A and B are shown apart, each in its own frame.
Chain A
Amino acid sequence: GAVVSQHPSRVICKSGTSVKIECRSLDFQATTMFWYRQFPKKSLMLMATSNEGSKATYEQGVEKDKFLINHASLTLSTLTVTSAHPEDSSFYICSARFSGRAGEQYFGPGTRLTVT
């Protein structure tokens, strides 16, 4: 099956610093990638949708200048949390849509971000 990887799996950073999370589709090309955030005991909430080579579309309430998304190739998207604060601590999950199929999305294993 299609594999999506994320790196790092866990990261701890100090308040005010920036953190970059990578999402890669390992064995397929993904024209569309999605970034979700999940707080403890809550469901996944979509943050943004990114299409290769174009600007990301952010959901209402998600600050585009704080959560920078780059989708430079068909296999790589990055999420940068800028000037992180403790309230940004969360589980960040990316998803890639398999271009040639009936809309299945494959998810990465997630990145646990802790801001101290």
Chain B
Amino acid sequence: DAKTTQPPSMDCAEGRAANLPCNHSTISGNEYVYWYRQIHSQGPQYIIHGLKNNETNEMASLIITEDRKSSTLILPHATLRDTAVYYCIVRVANGSARQLTFGSGTQLTVLP
């Protein structure tokens, strides 16, 4: 699986958009970008995933660059409950039973 690089921490004001970057310059053509988050002392929560097109769901938007070497997770209106560690993971999907490999992630702190 391709390695990912994320900033260790970020702050965001409540109500503003939180933009979390992820670099995955060695991503392969059949690898998806997944985002999970982990609120303190809880299990990780699936947020969103994508292959090459931008994706949006009720939680967030995922913007993937045209060359797929980086992506950005956008929380459009961050709340205090969005404070968590956010993990960007690159992995082959469909038909693979391989596990998710977690890096260090980004600690997002939403400030009142």
Chain A facing B: main interface SS:
strand
Quick check: is A115 within 8 A (CB to CB) of the other chain? no
Please tell me the number of chain B residues within 8 Å of chain A, measured between CB atoms: 25
The interface size bin for chain A is: 20 to 34
Closest partner residue, chain B, to A44 (CB atom): B102
Q: Within the complex, which residue of A6, A91, A103 is in contact with B41, where a contact is CB–CB below 8 Å? A: A91
Residue interface mask B83-102, A partner, CB < 8 A = 1: 00001000111101101111
Contact A102 B42 (CB under 8 A): no
Task: Kindly list chain A residues whose C-beta atoms are within 8 Å of the C-beta of B42.
Answer: 109-110
Q: Enumerate chain A residues within 8 angstroms of B36, measured Cβ to Cβ.
A: 107
Give the residues in chain B near A49, CB-CB below 8 Å.
Answer: 97, 99
The one of A6, A102, A107 in contact with B45, judged by C-beta atoms closer than 8 angstroms, is A107
B27 to chain A, nearest CB (A): 15
Q: Which residues of chain A have C-beta atoms less than 8 A from B103's C-beta? A: 43
A residues engaging B (CB < 8 A)? 1, 4, 6, 31-32, 34, 36, 43-46, 49, 51, 91, 93, 95, 97, 102-110, 112
